[in-house]
Amino acid sequence: MLRVHDLSVALPGRRLVDGISFEVDAGERVGVVGSSGAGKSQLVGALLGLTPAGLRVTGSVRVEGTEVVGAGPATWRPLRGRVTALVAQDPGTALDPLSRVGRQVALPLRAQGVPFGQARERAAALLAEVGLAGTDRRFPSQLSGGQRQRVAIALALAGAPRLLVADEPTSALDPTVQAGVLDLLDRVTGPDRAALLLVTHDLAVATRLCTRLLVLAGGRLVADGPVAEVLTDPLLADVVAASRALAVTR
């Protein structure tokens, strides 16, 4: 469902992502790991058409067959939310502080033409699915950080996307609520559900949810394989150790 070929993201004179190629199948759960500055966030930005101005993206990214490198809003409109959806590190970036969460989760459904009443019912059901039954009339400020991340996941799921991209979805959360959010991602992704591309500096998180790991170092893809193989590859010991060390210091 996702085909990435020779993808680069560059500043004049410097490549932040350097010639990366990989594929993600429907329902597959793939972790993207690597130390700080390895290029993980830039990779996600390029996959989702969110690269900041001033950086140049080259190569190819096909989302269910549609080329999105260089694509404009008309190409992204039918894809964003319905085929791809992003769960960011900080749920604050996804949520409007001035709008009740039920209304926010209903909005993408309304945008797809779902009638008001049905959209609100579906939003309430989505909130229940993420463990927040009965919270639809609350504002984000009336929820905890973990609950806000659950709302952000409900929002991402509203369009029934086939690829969920999660960029450090638990690293802004208290360790006590991280496990619950990971359980939730475990429930809503996988075979017969959405595929998951999970960016994390935390190998324990990646190995818990993913069957395959992509390892980035210096903007390059240095490994792509089943979790057990990648973690035991002696040639990757340094990058894996760097990722582990980072997880401990954060």
Ligand X SMILES: Nc1ncnc2c1ncn2[C@@H]1O[C@H](COP(=O)(O)OP(=O)(O)OP(=O)(O)O)[C@@H](O)[C@H]1O
Residue at 12: amino acid letter? P
Instruction: Judge contact between 140 and 151, C-beta under 8 A.
Output: yes
Which of 4, 132 has the CB closer to ligand X?
4
From candidates 40, 80, 150, 162, binder to ligand X by CB under 6 A: 40
Q: What is the per-residue DSSP string for 44-104? A: HHHHTT-PPTT-EEEEEEEETTEE-TT--HHHHTTTBTTTEEEE-S-GGGTS-TTS-HHHH
Compute the distance between CA of residue 91 and CA of residue 147 in angstroms, rounded to an integer: 9
* Nearest-5° Cα angle at 200, 123 to 224: 115
Out of 1, 24, 41, 153, the residue judged to bind ligand X by CB under 6 A: 41
Please report whether residue 160 would count as binding ligand X according to CB under 6 A.
Answer: no
Return the number of the residue (39 or 169) whose C-beta is nearest ligand X.
39
Q: Cβ closer to ligand X: 80 or 201?
A: 201
d(CA 173, CA 122) in angstroms, rounded, equals: 27
Between 171 and 207, whose beta carbon lies closer to ligand X? 171
Helix (H) or strand (E) holding 33: strand 29-33
Q: Considering CB under 6 A, how many residues would be counted as binding ligand X?
A: 12
Nearer to ligand X, 49 or 81 (CB): 49
36 is a site residue for ligand X (CB under 6 A): yes
How far is it, in rounded angstroms, from Cα 113 to Cα 184? 27
C-alpha 190/C-alpha 28 separation (Å) is 6
Q: How many CB atoms lie within 10 A of CB 199?
A: 24
Instruction: Candidates 30-38, 111-119, 138-146, 202-210: pick the segment binding ligand X (CB under 6 A).
Output: 30-38
Contact characters 52-91, ligand X, x per CB under 6 A: x---------------------------------------
Considering the complex, state which of residue 124 and residue 213 has its C-beta at the smaller distance from ligand X: 213
List the x/- string, 175-214, binding to ligand X by CB under 6 A. --------------------------x-------------
Assign 173 to helix, strand or coil.
Answer: coil
Among 42, 149, 170, 189, binds ligand X (CB under 6 A): 42
Q: Is 16 in the site for ligand X (CB under 6 A)?
A: yes
For ligand X, the binding residues (CB under 6 A) are 11, 16, 34, 36-42, 52, 201
